[in-house]
Amino acid sequence: ATVPSPLRGDPGPPDPPGATPAVQESGDLLTVSRSLADGSTLLLLADASDVRETVAQVRLVLLVTAVAVLLATALVVPLVVGGALRPLRRITDVARSITRGDRGRRLRPTAPGTDLGRTALAFDEMLD
Alpha helices in the chain (DSSP H): 49-99, 115-127
Check if the beta carbon of residue 22 is closer than 8 Å to that of residue 2: no
Do 96 and 117 reside in the same domain of the chain? yes
Give the pLDDT band (50/70/90) at residue 61.
Answer: very high
Do 22 and 57 reside in the same domain of the chain? no
Do 66 and 101 reside in the same domain of the chain? yes
CA distance 1 to 38: 8
Q: Which has more confidence, 78 or 95?
A: 78
Do 87 and 105 reside in the same domain of the chain? yes
Q: Say if residue 60's pLDDT is above 80.
A: yes
Task: Supply the pLDDT for residue 81.
Answer: 95
Structural domain span for residue 89: 51-127
Do 64 and 113 reside in the same domain of the chain? yes
Do 12 and 38 reside in the same domain of the chain? yes
Average pLDDT over residues 111-128: 88
Task: Supply the pLDDT for residue 5.
Answer: 47
Do 57 and 33 reside in the same domain of the chain? no
Q: What is the largest CA-CA distance in the chain?
A: 106
Check if the beta carbon of residue 29 is closer than 8 Å to that of residue 48: yes
Q: How many CA atoms lie less than 13 Å away from 84 in the CB half-sphere?
A: 7
Do 28 and 62 reside in the same domain of the chain? no
CA distance 11 to 36: 10
Task: Supply the pLDDT for residue 57.
Answer: 97
Do 55 and 115 reside in the same domain of the chain? yes
Task: Supply the pLDDT for residue 16.
Answer: 62
Task: Supply the pLDDT for residue 54.
Answer: 95
SS3 category, 120: helix
Calculate what percentage of the chain has a pLDDT beyond 70.
Answer: 84
Do 118 and 72 reside in the same domain of the chain? yes
Give the pLDDT band (50/70/90) at residue 37.
Answer: confident
Do 27 and 60 reside in the same domain of the chain? no
Domain count, the chain: 2
Do 38 and 59 reside in the same domain of the chain? no
